Chain A
Amino acid sequence: MKTNQKKAWLFLAPTIIFVTLFSIYPILRAFGMSFQSGSLIDLTWTGFNNYKYIFSDPDFWLALKNTLLYAVISVPVGLAISIMLAWIIFDKVKHQSLFETTFFMPYVTSTIAIGIVFRYIFNGDYGMLNFLLRNLHMPAPDWIDDPAMSLTTIIIFGIWSSLAFNIVILMGALRNIDPNYYTIADMYGASGKDKFWRITMPQLVPTIAFLLTMNIIGAFKIYTSVYALFNGQAGVGNSGTTAVFYIYNKFQTVGTPGVAMAATVVLFLIILFATFLQRKMMKKIGEN
């Protein structure tokens, strides 16, 4: 078993080569480029100028604000709805896999294609949603073309998309809870409410922590769904711009890769910080 050394590296070689070239190198390169200015073919050292630039750029702040708001609203709401639905399916429904299959559909389908459908459903004039709202005598805003509504529309779409993954993972966790806990609780006459808060929720804490992390990371990276909803734009007058939109724009359209990379580094650090913060929080909850 001594010859393992060479063999092991041989088996790992393809992975290591690709990972170095397309994961490790680009991280370092992104970091380096964030201190450089000029176009891709002609980069020169510029120190912290790119960072100074983005922090004084109102567009960047708007992008950050939108991204943060999106994360802070869509993630908890989406997760709460998911927990409710998963619990109902788990607790009440016989044909669980039917509902699971249904709710999981958005996960496998193209965001772009569904975004186009949503754009259509959300249409201010002939959209299905406003037709429904008008019939219920509720305000029917212009979801797509009113800049004030852009973020709301994005959030609704985001929540809709996030249920799929959350519900399926939560169902998995619910099935993993030892059924004897519930049997014993029944013997002591616990109510449905008691069982949910005293048995189910504590058992779900690790799963919820995991989903929070995944959802928040996902939320900070939001791009494709905005692109699809607003047909390649970030909403009317850039009202729905997000961090990745900003990066893409600075990189590809404006042609200032250094600025784009500075924004990337900032986004990356925010994600790291959010993950870290939330792990700590969850640990505390887990201890109590």
Chain B
Amino acid sequence: MDNNKFVEVKNLRKVYDNGHEAIKNVSFAVKKGDLVCLLGPSGCGKTTILNILAGLLNPTSGEILFDGKSVVDVEPKDRHIGYVFQNYALYPHMTVLQNVMFPLVVGKNKKPKADAERIAQKYMELTQITELADQKPENLSGGQQQRVAIARALVQEPKILLMDEPLSNLDARLRLKIREEIRALVKSVGITTLFVTHDQEEALSIGDKIILFNDGVIQQDDLGQNFYLEPNNYFVANFVGNPVIDNFKVTKIENKLKANDFTIDIADLDQSRFKRTLADGDYLLSVRPENIFPALDGLLQATVDDVELIGRERVLKFTNDETQARSLVNLEMPIKHGDQVKLKMRLDRVFLFTPDGERVY
């Protein structure tokens, strides 16, 4: 038994009846006790994967192992999983207590009512919903429903907890609070958790690891900070980061990278970061907004189109070569709409991508 591969997915593929290929050859592993986020834009296949892991959908091909054993042919109820649905899927005609008890009083592993109630009470205490026991779901707030759903998912003491966008129906402030609680809870229970979200900030804050999907393919499977510092490709660089990364079209000619109105000497770049030697041709130069800033010896000249305040910082928006770009500056910096500025980049922090998205620097 390999605790580093408590959940293992190998060459998973899912083609729907209408021919849509939702998952294309996906493989990954999750370490026991980890909280892993499946991140990606809507329609990227992350919920499909969760449904396949739960046994609610059949994969077209591929293998799924829980704790070293294949579960592809195992019914959902025998997979030892808990599932928290986006809409919570609480049974509206049952009280909170009945909802939490339900998994214990149906099916093959039925428990005596007293035992079931005792176990349910335990998890209701854990999720702090004991005093709601006799309420119907319709009378609960979103956050309370969320806790009931988690208690119900945990009550069978599953080995794996699957959560499908559990925070998307909550308002922004509550979302921050609950996500901390969820992390604390699953860590205290020690359960291996897969958490689907489309919100990068949520994934970065809650996940031990993040797997980023797009178009049914894993784009990057990594620790949170690496999505930021070392994106695998153009998609990852653009998906992660707020405000989003700036992209400039450049062309490599001889030892220079030429954009429309600035030129970078390749010798000025950090040679150790090159993944391979560059051929002449078109590239995309991407730089995070905090790594491009006004400076007297700036590289490119631009007019500030707009200034947006985001908390401690301000975003300067400018247009270069018909693309909108942003620069993140300190709140105090005295720049206003319409100012002419010179901008400088931290060349050891920029990325270079080929036109089809492969990272080369």
B-binding residues in A (CB < 8 A): 1-3
Contacts and interface: CB of A to CB of B under 8 A. Distances in A.
- What is the interface residue range for chain B against chain A? under 10
B76 A1 contact: yes
Interface in B216-248: none
Interface in B49-105: 55-58, 73, 75-76
A1 B77 CA distance: 10
B73 A1 contact: no
9 contacts: A1-B55, A1-B56, A1-B57, A1-B58, A1-B75, A1-B76, A2-B58, A2-B73, A3-B75
Nearest to A3: B75
B12 to A, nearest CB: 16
Nearest to B57: A1
Interface string B14-57: 00000000000000000000000000000000000000000111
B326 to A, nearest CB: 38
A140 to B, nearest CB: 60
Nearest to A4: B58
A2 B75 CA distance: 9
Nearest to B76: A1
A3 B57 CA distance: 12
A1 B75 CA distance: 6
A10 B55 CA distance: 22
A2 to B, nearest CB: 7
A-B interface, 9 closest residue pairs, ranked by CB to CB distance from nearest: A1-B58, A1-B55, A2-B58, A1-B56, A2-B73, A1-B57, A1-B76, A1-B75, A3-B75
Contacts of A1: 55-58, 75-76
Nearest to B72: A2
B218 to A, nearest CB: 25
Given A1-B55, A1-B56, A1-B75, 6 more contacts: A1-B57, A1-B58, A1-B76, A2-B58, A2-B73, A3-B75
B47 to A, nearest CB: 16
Contacts of A2: 58, 73
A8 to B, nearest CB: 15
A3 to B, nearest CB: 8
A269 B58 CA distance: 44
B49 to A, nearest CB: 16
A252 B73 CA distance: 59
A1 B73 CA distance: 8
A2 B56 CA distance: 10
A3 B55 CA distance: 12
A168 B75 CA distance: 46
A234 to B, nearest CB: 52
Contacts of B58: 1-2
A1 B57 CA distance: 7
A7 B128 CA distance: 40
Contacts of B55: 1
Nearest to B73: A2
Contacts of A3: 75
Contacts of B57: 1
A206 B73 CA distance: 47
A3 B75 CA distance: 9
A2 B57 CA distance: 9
A153 to B, nearest CB: 51
A3 B76 CA distance: 12
A2 B55 CA distance: 10
A1 B72 CA distance: 10
Contacts of B56: 1
A1 B52 CA distance: 10
Contacts of B76: 1
A67 to B, nearest CB: 45
A222 B358 CA distance: 73
Nearest to B55: A1
Nearest to A2: B58
A2 B59 CA distance: 11
Contacts of B75: 1, 3
A1 B78 CA distance: 12
B254 to A, nearest CB: 60
Interface string B235-265: 0000000000000000000000000000000
A1 B71 CA distance: 12
A41 B21 CA distance: 59
B90 to A, nearest CB: 22
A158 to B, nearest CB: 43
A2 B60 CA distance: 12
A15 B186 CA distance: 47
A3 B56 CA distance: 12
B55 to A, nearest CB: 6
A1 to B, nearest CB: 6
